[in-house]
Amino acid sequence: TRIPKLGKTQKKHNKMCGIVGYIGTKDATPILLKGLKRLEYRGYDSAGLAIINPANNPANNSANKLAVYKTRGKVADLARYVQGKDTAGTLGIAHTRWATHGEPSDINAHPHYSQSGQLALIHNGIIENYPVLKETLLREGFPFQSDTDTEVLVQWIEYMRTTRNTDLFHAVQLALTQVVGAYAIAVIQQDDQDIMVAARKSSPLLIGIGEGEYFLASDASPVIEYTKKVVYLNDQEVVCLRRDREPEFYNLQQVEKDHRIIELELTLSQLEKGGYPHFMLKEIFQQPHTLRECMRGRVNVDNNSVTLSGILDNRERFLKARRIIIVACGTSWHAGLLGKYMIETFARVPVEVEYASEFRYRNPVLFADDIVVAISQSGETA
């Protein structure tokens, strides 16, 4: 069955949502909120967090409580919203959302939880076959509160967990074998404050390895303050983070995978605003430095030469190209328009610039001697 085209909100951007997670000995909420602040450069419309309040908290009547707090607006709005609320706990997940399925609202914000209230999930990416999964779940009596594909995913994991009578880790593996699309997810469950499960496909996710604690993030900025040791998940890998145990990495076929710890070379100052009032100004003023770094080793003024491996590796194809098609979204699309102007001016080769979100779902006319150049500003364009 052909997947329907995505709605208008999905065509405008790369869905650069932010993910933060923590499991350790410290109070999770301040770490999660600070991590979300570090991800604000991504742009977003709502934010939320989920904490497991431990059983030894008398306010919880000797039972774990999964507390979910989320709101439309900025991280500062979320921080004000949780003031005075019970956010105690050393395990939690947090998210900044940029709306795709469903308008920006409190209900559509992440985390989303299952009908039993047992599971909470945050998600970057787009689940393309969510209508099929949702139809199955509706027949099974699952209610839905939001318009999101993400709520479908957490309900699907719950469905796998109960119908297959399995644990959270294996339920996530089973559920994802039937999911079509892109995802970086983190899931926690109310009745176990010592486990977090995460997985990725076509959307970045890393694990920060600390001293008796683990961090989860969609990029290094929320992690670098606490540890420089990270593991980047590969496509279709699932990791089980348990308190006081080594992380366990598996693929969807339940085959254990090796993982390599990488030492980050970034500094915290490189990831922060650097004295500028917001990230856009910082990026504008950093452009000369960034361009010099980007061209270092590629432009040789003395020899009057430019070395670009992507061009050199396909030199003959470029020389014989009938047409170049640039595929991109958002900022990258505007860069493509500039590229069209320059290529047609200097190389006299016709260039078309297409929205990636449209190009993917239509049936374009392509010839063997065309070249398609895909650009992603964020690294997360579908």
Q: Which phi and psi (to 5°) does residue 256 adopt? A: -70, 140
Q: Which residues of 163-191 are buried (b: 16+ CB within 10 A; e: fewer)?
A: eeeeebbbbbbbbbeebebbbbbbbbbbe
Per-residue model confidence (pLDDT) at position 14: 41
* 119: DSSP letter: E
342-372: per-residue pLDDT in tens? 999 999 999 999 998 888 788 999 999 999 9
261-279: per-residue pLDDT in tens? 999 887 777 777 777 888 7
Per-residue model confidence (pLDDT) at position 362: 87
Residue 52: pLDDT band (50, 70, 90) is very high
- Residue range 39-64: mean pLDDT, rounded: 76
- Residue range 192-200: mean pLDDT, rounded: 95
Per-residue model confidence (pLDDT) at position 56: 52
- Which range scores top for mean pLDDT: 223-227, 329-333, 357-361? 223-227
Indicate if the pLDDT at residue 95 is higher than 60.
yes
- Greater confidence, 189 or 56? 189
4-23: per-residue pLDDT in tens? 333 333 333 345 689 999 99
Extended strands (E) in the chain: 18-23, 46-53, 65-72, 91-97, 112-113, 119-124, 183-189, 192-201, 206-209, 214-217, 229-232, 237-242, 248-251, 262-263, 299-300, 305-306, 323-328, 351-355, 370-374
pTM, rounded to two decimals = 0.79
Per-residue model confidence (pLDDT) at position 123: 96
Per-residue model confidence (pLDDT) at position 239: 97
322 and 369 in contact (C-beta within 8 Å)? yes
Question: Distance between CA 38 and CA 44 in Å, rounded?
Answer: 12
Indicate if the pLDDT at residue 94 is higher than 90.
yes
Q: What percent of the chain has pLDDT over 70?
A: 91
User: Taking all residues of the chain, what is their mean pLDDT, rounded to a whole number?
Assistant: 88
